[in-house]
C-alpha cells in the first residue's frame, strides 16, 4: 500500500482554531519527532544529494534549460528594492514582479556587458529566474538565500569580506544600470513595479545524482520540481493519480480549516479504510507526525486540540 507525506508550512501560520475531533484524535495518538526547522532542512529530509551540497541555481537551471552540467551556476534574480532610513529594503523578487519576455528583451542587453566583462554569461530561460554561468572551479563567497532577504535591509545580507567585494561592486553597478533604464520608467507608468536590483544566491554545480524514496512528487514549487526531476521522478500536480508513495506540497496553505477539510480528513479516511498504509506530516518548523492505522488503539493518548499545543522538540512517551 502507498504512503503519503505532506510538506506543510510552520505551524504558527496555521494556528488560531481548534482542530476537528477526528484530526485531534489522530494527531494526539501519532508518533511525533523533531527535525531541523527551515525550508532547506525540510526538503533535505526527503531528498539526498551526492555530493552533499545544496546548489539551488544548478538544480533549477537544469529544470529550466536542461544545460546545467559542466558549469557553476548562480541565480541573479530580478528584484525591487526601495530606500529607507537605514539603507534599502527588498520588497519583491522573481515571480512577484510579473515579468515577461518583453522585459527580458529590454533589460538583459543592458546588463550582459557588465557580467561579460567579468567573465560570466547572464541569461534568463524563465523571466522570473535569471542565471549567471561561471567556470566549474570558480570560487564564490557565501550568498544569503533570497527568501532571507525579502522584506529586510539589503545591505545586511551582502556577501562579506574580500571574497564578497567583487560581488558587492557588481550589484552596485547593476543597480545603477537598472535604475537608469528607460524601460523601468515605462513599467512604473503602467503601474508595474520597477526592476531596480538583482540578488545573487544559490550558487553551485549540479550534483552527481539526487535520490528520494517517493515515486510521485505533487506540487508547483520550482525547487521541489527541480529536485524531483533530478531524482528521476516526474512531478505532477496535486490532483495526480494515487496508489504510490507520494510527497505532496501544501506549504502554500495558511488556513487550518482548509487543510483539515481538504487534505487531512480525506487522508485519514483512506488510512482507516486501508487504502493508505501511512501518513506523515512534515511541518517547516521541524514538527513531524507519523500516523498509522494501528495507532487507533492508543486510547490513553489525549487529543491534540491545537497544532501549537506542543513544541516541535517535545516527544511524548
Judged against a pLDDT cut of 80, whether residue 235 lies above it is answered with no
Q: Name which residue leads in pLDDT, 238 or 174.
A: 174
The pLDDT of residue 308 is 72
Q: Cβ(97)–Cβ(80) under 8 Å?
A: yes
Residue 153 per-residue DSSP state: B
Answer yes or no: is 91 within a domain: yes
Do 60 and 191 have their domain in common?
Answer: yes
pLDDT band (50, 70, 90) for residue 311: low
Domain end position, chosen among 190, 205, 220? 205
Instruction: Please state the rounded mean pLDDT for residues 288-313.
Output: 80
User: Would residue 38 count as lying in a domain?
Assistant: yes
Share of the chain above pLDDT 90, in %: 80
User: Is the distance from CB of 76 to CB of 199 less than 8 angstroms?
Assistant: yes
Q: In the predicted model, is pLDDT for residue 194 greater than 60?
A: yes
What secondary structure does DSSP assign to 83-141, as a single string?
Answer: EETTEEEEEEEGGGG---HHHHHHHHHHHHHHHHHTT-EEEEEETTEEEEEE-TT----
Are 139 and 228 in a shared domain? no
Residue 314 lies in a domain: no
Angle formed by the axes of helices 222-230 and 56-65, to 10°?
80
Instruction: Give the three-state DSSP class for 272.
Output: helix
**Letter string b/e over residues 102-114, b meaning 16 or more CB atoms within 10 A of that residue's CB:** ebbebbeeebeee
What does the pLDDT read at residue 239? 46
pLDDT computed for residue 114 by the predictor: 97
Pair (29, 111) in one structural domain: no
Confidence (pLDDT) at 14 = 86
Residue 244: inside a domain, yes or no?
Answer: yes
Do 183 and 66 sit in the same domain of this protein?
yes
Of the candidates 205, 224, 245, which is a domain's last residue? 205
Residue 159 lies in a domain: yes
Task: Cell numbers for 85, please give them.
Answer: 532610513
Q: Is residue 317 part of a domain?
A: no
**Tens-place pLDDT, residues 137-152:** 999 999 999 999 999 9
Q: Which SS3 state, helix, strand or coil, does residue 287 take? A: strand
SS3 of residue 257 by DSSP: helix
At residue 317, does pLDDT exceed 50?
A: no
90 and 192 in one domain?
yes
Q: Residue 38: pLDDT above 70?
A: yes
30 and 114 fall within a common domain: no
In which band, very low, low, confident or very high, does the pLDDT at 218 lie, cut at 50, 70 and 90?
very high
Flag whether 316 is in a domain: no
130 shares its domain with 256: no
Q: Is the pLDDT of residue 44 over 80?
A: yes
Q: Is 80 exceeded by the pLDDT of residue 63?
A: yes
DSSP 21-64: HHHHHHHHHSEEEE---SHHHHHHTT-EEESS---HHHHHHHHH
Question: Is 120 found in the same domain as 148?
Answer: yes
Residue 190: the pLDDT is: 94
Task: Tell which of 205, 239, 261 closes a domain.
Answer: 205
More confident of the two residues 305 and 3: 3
**Same structural domain for residues 93 and 34?**
no
Round the average pLDDT of the chain to a whole number and report it.
91
Per-residue pLDDT at 313? 46
Count: domains in the chain: 2
Measured between alpha carbons, how far is 291 from 133 in angstroms, rounded to an integer?
44
User: Does one domain contain both 175 and 262?
Assistant: no
Arithmetic mean of pLDDT, 266-276: 92
Q: DSSP readout, 172-194? A: HHHHHHHHT-HHHHHHHHTTPPP
- Residue 75: pLDDT over 90: yes
Pure H helices in 208-251: 222-230
Is 294 found in the same domain as 259?
yes
**152 and 286 belong to one structural domain:** no
- What integer pLDDT is reported at residue 295 of this predicted model? 87
Q: Any bridge partners for residue 31, and if so which?
A: 290
Say if CB 235 and CB 224 are below 8 A apart: yes
Domain hosting residue 121, numbered range: 56-205
When mean pLDDT is compared across 6-10, 214-218, 234-238, 296-300, the lowest value belongs to: 234-238
In a domain, 42, yes or no: yes
Q: Which of 232, 188, 238, 241 is nearest to 218 (CA)?
A: 238
Amino acid at each position: 500500500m502507498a504512503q503519503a507525506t505532506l510538506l506543510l508550512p510552520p505551524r504558527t501560520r496555521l494556528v488560531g482554531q481548534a482542530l476537528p475531533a477526528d484530526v485531534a484524535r489522530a494527531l494526539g495518538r501519532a508518533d511525533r519527532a523533531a527535525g531541523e526547522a527551515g525550508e532547506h532542512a525540510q526538503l533535505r529530509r526527503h531528498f539526498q544529494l551526492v555530493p552533499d551540497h545544496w546548489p539551488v541555481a544548478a538544480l533549477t537551471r537544469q529544470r529550466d534549460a536542461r544545460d546545467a552540467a559542466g558549469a557553476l551556476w548562480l541565480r541573479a534574480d530580478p528584484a525591487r528594492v526601495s530606500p529607507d532610513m537605514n539603507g534599502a529594503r527588498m520588497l519583491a523578487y522573481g515571480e512577484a514582479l510579473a515579468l515577461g519576455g518583453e522585459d527580458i528583451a529590454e533589460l538583459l542587453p543592458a546588463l550582459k556587458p557588465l557580467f561579460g566583462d567579468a567573465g560570466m554569461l547572464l541569461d534568463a530561460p524563465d523571466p522570473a529566474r535569471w542565471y549567471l554561468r561561471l567556470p566549474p572551479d570558480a570560487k564564490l563567497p557565501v550568498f544569503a538565500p533570497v527568501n532571507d532577504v525579502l522584506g529586510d535591509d539589503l545591505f545586511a545580507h551582502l556577501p562579506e569580506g574580500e571574497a564578497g567585494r567583487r560581488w558587492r561592486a557588481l550589484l552596485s553597478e547593476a543597480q545603477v544600470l537598472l535604475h537608469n533604464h528607460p524601460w523601468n520608467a515605462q513599467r512604473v507608468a503602467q503601474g508595474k513595479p520597477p526592476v531596480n536590483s538583482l540578488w545573487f544566491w544559490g550558487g553551485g554545480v549540479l550534483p552527481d545524482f539526487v535520490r528520494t524514496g517517493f515515486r510521485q512528487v505533487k506540487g508547483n514549487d520550482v525547487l521541489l520540481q527541480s529536485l524531483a526531476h533530478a531524482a528521476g521522478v516526474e512531478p505532477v500536480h496535486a490532483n495526480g493519480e494515487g496508489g504510490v508513495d507520494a510527497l505532496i506540497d501544501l506549504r502554500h496553505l495558511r488556513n487550518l480549516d482548509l487543510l483539515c477539510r481538504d487534505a487531512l480528513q480525506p487522508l485519514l479516511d483512506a488510512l482507516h479504510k486501508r487504502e493508505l498504509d501511512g501518513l506523515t506530516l512534515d511541518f517547516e518548523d521541524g514538527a513531524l507526525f507519523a500516523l498509522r492505522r494501528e495507532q487507533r488503539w492508543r486510547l490513553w493518548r489525549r487529543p491534540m486540540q491545537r497544532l501549537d499545543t506542543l513544541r516541535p522538540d517535545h516527544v511524548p512517551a
